[in-house]
């Protein structure tokens, strides 16, 4: 998922990741331009009808580790303008 989660309503990002995880075969790669940050999440609604959110890095990683059948969560920082989070499934 590239640059989607950070533009969802604050109540919806967990649902979107859970569904993407459910339909994934081996792993899920989340790509963020609005990079998750230390501390509290910041949710910013835009008049254009979408959000520009900065998720809490710790909250995101904790959520990913709790996904059903998650074996490993890797954080890859600063790949160009992006941060990647890779979740692998149990074989």
- Residue 3 pLDDT level (bands cut at 50, 70, 90): confident
- Residue 50 pLDDT level (bands cut at 50, 70, 90): very high
* Cα separation, 76 vs 11, whole angstroms: 25
Secondary structure (DSSP) of 6-48: GGS-TTTHHHHHHHHHHH-SSEEEEEESS--BSSS-B--B-TT
pLDDT of residue 80: 84
Cut 0.95: pTM above it: no
pLDDT of residue 45: 96
Summarised one tens digit per residue, pLDDT across range 71-91 is: 999 999 988 889 999 999 997
């Amino acid at each position: 998922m590239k640059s989607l989660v950070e533009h969802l309503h604050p109540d919806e990002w967990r649902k979107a990741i859970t569904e993407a995880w459910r339909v994934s075969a081996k792993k899920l790669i989340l790509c963020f331009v609005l990079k998750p940050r230390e501390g509290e999440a910041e949710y910013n609604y835009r008049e254009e009808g979408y959000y520009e959110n900065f998720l809490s890095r710790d909250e995101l990683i904790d959520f990913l580790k709790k996904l059903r059948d998650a074996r490993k969560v890797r954080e890859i920082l600063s790949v160009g303008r992006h941060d990647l989070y890779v979740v692998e499934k149990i074989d």
